[in-house]
Amino acid sequence: MLQDIERHLACPHCAQALTRHERTLRCPAGHSFDLAKQGYVSLLAGDAHTGTGDTAEMVAARADFLAAGHYRPIADALAEAAAAAVASAPGDPDGLVADLGAGTGHYLAHVLDALPGHPGAALDISKYALRRAAKAHPRIGAVVCDAWRPLPLRDACADLMLNVFAPRNGPEIRRVLRPGGTLLLVSPTARHLRELVAGLGLLSVDEEKQRRIDEKLGPYLTAAGQREVEFTLRLGAQDVRTVVGMGPSAWHTDPERLVAALGALPDPVEVTASVTVATYRR
């Protein structure tokens, strides 16, 4: 619920605190933001562009794929890392967990189940995703915002931040994390979905991706360890269509060529899922 995270929110125009007046959030400077009936609030600046956000079709595909449990090992590893991070650097017993690029809220909900009492802020630029995130867990508040602009959260308000297959804004992550707070970042390895990359011509992952992430975050956070999570998926043809449609390849794949390529794959097909779960500390 938004009320669980309201004390952590900041006006995107002046960075002052926001307070609720019926179904509107307002700051002392007079900026106001209406709460959507679907349970989220948009804290985008007026000149922000939402064209890079996931479409309704991409969000539906992701919701279906995740609900089927295909990526459960990733969610479990993230929840385990979150519980360990909070236990090793305890802060506020009801400290904020902020998920930058939260999508449907699937991973944030899984983490909150492992952290009783902690509220969660689902941050994403896609209103279609946040309509689902607002209902994904009773302690999630969903906020539309741009990951590349100042985040609408107060300084040092978060004990823990999540970033799963999403954009990373190092300076803002550091600002929002409290001293001693933790970022958990999930990114694909070069082996992730490799059978589909080869068979369907999907976007591939750079072998140096994790090194480049470490370099970009290095000025703001300290790397504190990582683990790889790798497992085999057994996907039917519809599952393959769904996993293609939910990710960045959805923007770049020709539908007719995809149909032809799918016909050449075994049904079901065994596919490698491979990610890195990396820990960083402020």
Question: Region 79-87: what's the mean pLDDT?
Answer: 94
Least reliable range by pLDDT among 55-59, 131-135, 261-265: 261-265
The reported pLDDT for the residue numbered 263 is 74
The reported pLDDT for the residue numbered 96 is 96
Q: How many CB atoms neighbour CB 37 within 10 A?
A: 8
Indicate the pLDDT class of residue 110, thresholds 50, 70 and 90.
very high
Least reliable range by pLDDT among 85-89, 121-125, 261-265, 276-280: 261-265
Question: Region 262-278: what's the mean pLDDT?
Answer: 89
Question: Region 72-84: what's the mean pLDDT?
Answer: 97
CATH, residue 89: 3.40.50.150
Containing structural domain, residue 119? 2-281
Indicate the pLDDT class of residue 51, thresholds 50, 70 and 90.
low
pLDDT at 249 over 70: no
Count of structural domains within the chain: 1
Question: Could you give the percent of the chain with pLDDT greater than 70?
Answer: 93
* Average pLDDT in the chain: 90
pLDDT in tens, 10-22: 999 999 999 998 8
pLDDT at 203 over 80: no
Give this prediction's pTM. 0.92
The reported pLDDT for the residue numbered 48 is 62
pLDDT at 209 over 90: no
